[in-house]
Structure 1
Amino acid sequence: MEIKSLDIFCEIIDNFGDIGVVYRVAKEFKSIYNENIEIRVFLNRLDEFLPLNKRAKNVGYQKIDGIEYITNEYLAKNICTFSPANVIIEAFGCNILEGYLNKAKDESSLLINLEYLSGESWIEEVHLMESPIGAKKLRKYFFMPGFKENTGGVIVDKLFLNRKLEVQNNKSIYIEKYLPDLSDRDYFIGTIFSYEKNFLPLLNVLLKNGKNNCLLVLGQKSQDSIKIILEKLDFVEVSKDSYEMGNLKIKFMPFLEQEEYEELINVVDYNFVRGEDSFVRALLTGKPFMWHIYLQEEMAHMDKIDGFIERYKEVLEEFNLEIPLNIQTKLLRDYNLRDSNSLELGRENYEEFFKEFEQISQLTKAYSEYIELKCNLIDKLNRFILKY
């Protein structure tokens, strides 16, 4: 089926992950089809979108780089003037305005429920399963992102891959762009973007590793977590939002646009990230990572972590690096073993992770190549629509 027009619906709750995924999907489809497709993104609010793109405004309707961004409120007020697209993406099971959906049942062809990313094996059975909606023309299917070939995969967008290559080939330029005060020394650099967490064990390991370390802290929750530790230790504020103690420099980074964040995580040595979209970006850098998964009731998030670990090991066990693989996955599990987001000390021990850093780097590079080759969500989604 030809994709003449694409409408994407997103209901933002309390973080940047949902809009981050939707924003990326919209941009990638636009880059594939250029002027041959009309793309509209419908949002319940704009609070999280505005920081992601500095050209975005707090208005009901706007067009940026050929993509229309429309609030649900604007859609409701002007529903009589809207015709639904022939392909609709419902991100993460969000609610679509009833007036729009009633029109779509008669006028549109395909509705895709793009679900949250998961490594659990059950999603393989649900992926591309039809969900009856009682419409004569419109049909709805589940699209389940995951880490195996027979799932929906993850968003591997060419815009990101091109940006990654550009940073790799011009690292000094991007160090100067984001970290000009580090350009005169050789630093071991990592990023932290997390929910609330006690990072004292991490700082203690970095203070003893004999390297010039720099830790870039992003996001309010991460920064608030680190600030409490800085007040207890002998860190000295050397400039605005920059602190030093011994061989460790900590920098609080300003909020970055999506494209800027992608440049930053490709220029550093390792990334500790949170959520879904940032996690996939971290995987695609090929650099060592930790993933702070979104907390769920009754620790249901641990099933997702264990599912990812199983998929991760399935791919990497052939490299005969069992010790570093077990060290990384154990730390990943301990990093997330919690029933609340708090500043209590967890079980994680970072010492072995950094001792085996070079071999872990081999694993993460190999995994990024696997994801890029076998689990490209954009390609899978596009092929499914075209074959429909």
Structure 2
Amino acid sequence: MRADIFCRVVDNYGDIGVCWRLARRLAQVPGWRPRLWVDDLRAFARIQPGLDPEQARQQCLGIDIVHWTPAPPADLTPGDVVIEAFACDPPDAFLAAMRQAHPVWINLEYLSAEAWIESCHGLPSQRPDGLVKHFYFPGFTPATGGLLREPGLSAERDALQASPEQQESVLRALGVPPDALSRRRDGARLVSLFCYPDAPVDALASALAADPRPTVLLAPEGVAPSLEAACAAPGRPTLVRLPFVSQPDFDRLLWCADLNFVRGEDSFVRAAWAARPLVWQIYPQHDQVHLDKLEAWLARYPATEGARALIRAWNQPDSPQALGPALATALEPEAWQAWARAARDWDAAQADRPDLAENLAAFCAELAKKR
């Protein structure tokens, strides 16, 4: 199955993060050969070392990469499957070729825990030109497409989390300096932070400073620029800035951390696979509709009420005063242990199901039989 995946980078790195993981995962499915079209190769290069943002066509990790421009190369015809990520229609010239080839056409939707997606998952949309597009929803239940997860991920994660020496080696390679590693060995909590610009990071730094256990705070370069000032006072978290790294290295970072603050879709799913407590900042939308989506996930996430309160407070940047008490409650020893157990239970329950790529490959194979 030759598959074309189209990715339009709308905001930051979430779109390309999901699409690049999907391309690499589909390449592991027997008989599948994905090709990834990306309109912003510079954003792509931030998370994939070795990618050349100046090249119109290249290979990376054995996968064909095409720079998606208004005039795509005429010699690139549609494969057996066309996957548009998050409703980004392929270019007109490519659509014209699709009308001749009639590939399986998938609109990969955003991840949601809302119940309504189960009734829409897999539904077709017949177009006037004869093409049919099917809507495919990632999700947390067997009635959805599932979550992206690579074979052997749990075993690799468990091996790293069982070895403090390997963890320190990973962190050192990622750029964590010796003094921060020493503080971690002495018992400091390791917290990773990846957030949107409106996250209440100043309140977070104050709340972590009030916790009896010291904190080493890891954040990517350029994210939450006010952290330097917020962490400057004595007793505040030790802030370490890290460069953007490849996706496998980002996974290992999440595995090493005790607590992960993540944003959007890609880093959220990867933090879930870390089997560690996570705080999700959902992508903000008009009229606060994103908070309904957050509540739908919280209804499924088996965390303590204190952890839920912390996650809600993190998603209410206009009310930062709620963050400190919520964090203090969530980090109390008994509550923290219960949250850690819930994170492991959540990981195990989701890992029992087929992953998104397996489900999608099977769905496309069935549709291909009917063409």
TM-score normalised over the length of structure 1 = 0.85
Alignment CA distance shift 1:338-1:215 (3 Å): closer
Q: Distance in 1 between matches of 2:322 and 2:186?
A: 33
Shift of 1:53: 1.0
What are the equivalent positions in structure 2 for 1:316-331 lying under 5 Å apart? 316=302, 325-331=304-310
For 2:314 and 2:42, how far apart are their aligned partners in 1?
29
Separation of aligned partners in 2, 1:336 and 1:205:
16
* 3-state secondary structure, aligned to 2:115: coil
Map 1:134-149 to 2 at 5 A.
Answer: 134-136=128-130, 138-149=131-142
Matched, 1:350 2:327: yes
Distance 1:286 1:360 in 2: 10
- Separation of aligned partners in 2, 1:188 and 1:71: 42
**Cα offset for 1:201?**
3.5
| Unaligned ranges ≥5, structure 1 | 236-244, 317-323
Q: Is 1:199–1:226's contact at 8 Å kept on the other side of the alignment?
A: yes
Per-residue CA deviation, residues 313-344 of structure 1 (Å, 9 max, x unaligned), is xxx3xxxxxxx6211112212221357xxxx7
**Counterpart in the other structure of 1:120:** 114
Residue 226 of structure 2 aligns with which residue?
225
Percent of pairs with identical residues:
27
Residue pair 1:106, 1:135 contacting (<8 A) in 2 also: no
Taking the TM superposition and a 5 Å limit, the aligned residue runs for 1:185-196 are 185-196=186-197
Given the superposition, is the C-alpha separation of residues 368 and 382 from structure 1 closer, same or farther in structure 2, using an over 3 Å criterion? same
For these two proteins, the number of residue pairs brought into alignment is: 353
Q: Name the counterpart of 2:359.
A: 380
Instruction: Give 1:158's aligned residue.
Output: 151
Structure 1, 161-170 or 365-374: larger mean CA deviation: 161-170
- Aligned residue for 2:98? 104
Question: Contact 2:283–2:290 (CA<8 Å) still a contact in 1?
Answer: yes
Cα distance in structure 2, aligned partners of 1:121 and 1:24: 25
- For residue 239 of structure 1, what is the aligned residue in structure 2? none
1:127-276 correspondence runs (5 A):
127-136=121-130, 138-158=131-151, 160-161=153-154, 163-178=156-171, 179=176, 181=178, 182-183=181-182, 184-196=185-197, 197-222=199-224, 224-230=225-231, 234-235=233-234, 245=235, 248-276=237-265
Instruction: Give the stretch that moved more between structures: 177-186 or 63-72.
Output: 177-186
Query: 1:55 aligned to 2:50?
Result: yes
Q: Deviations over 1:109-133 (max 9, x none)?
A: 3001000111111111110010112
1:25 Cα deviation (Å)?
Answer: 0.5
- Residues 298 and 338 of structure 1: is their aligned pair in 2 closer, same or farther, counting only changes over 3 Å? farther
Q: CA deviation at 1:249?
A: 1.9
* Contact 1:198-1:346 at 8 Å conserved across structures: no
| Structure 2: gaps of 5 or more residues | none
Aligned pair in 2 of structure 1 residues 338, 132: CA closer, same or farther (>3 Å)?
farther
Q: Offset at 1:203?
A: 2.8
Could you list the structure 1 runs, at least 4 aligned residues long, displaced by more than 4 angstroms after superposition. Answer: none
CA apart distance, 1:135: 4.4
What amino acid does structure 1 have at the position aligned with 2:29?
Answer: I
Counterpart-to-counterpart distance in 1, 2:345 and 2:322: 28
> How far did residue 253 of structure 1 move?
1.6
Deviation at 1:95, TM superposition (A): 2.3
Q: 1:159-179, CA deviations, whole angstroms, 9 ceiling, x for partnerless residues?
A: 644542442244422313323
* Match in the other structure for 1:294: 283
* Corresponding letter in the other structure for 1:42: W
**1:173 aligned partner, one-letter code:** Q
Shift of the 375–202 alpha-carbon distance from structure 1 to 2, 3 Å rule, reads farther
| CA displacement at 1:192 relative to structure 2 | 0.8
Q: CA deviation at 1:380?
A: 1.5
- Taking the TM superposition and a 5 Å limit, the aligned residue runs for 1:364-379 are 364-374=343-353, 376-379=355-358
Aligned match of 2:300:
311
Q: Give the RMSD, CA atoms, in angstroms.
A: 2.1
- Look up the SS of the partner of 1:76 in the other structure: coil
Q: Give the Cα–Cα distance (whole angstroms) in 1 for the partners of residues 45 and 145 of structure 2.
A: 28
After superposition, what is the alpha-carbon deviation per residue over 1:13-37, rounded to whole angstroms, capped at 9, x for unaligned?
A: 121000000000100111223xx43
TM-score between the two structures when normalised by the length of structure 2:
0.89
Conserved in 2, the CA contact under 8 Å of 1:93 and 1:114? yes
What is the Cα deviation at residue 384 of structure 1?
1.1
> Is contact 1:89–1:113 with CA below 8 Å preserved after alignment?
yes
Counterpart position of 2:5: 8
Decide whether the 8 Å contact of 1:113 with 1:142 is kept in 2: yes
1:163–1:263: 8 Å Cα contact kept in structure 2?
no
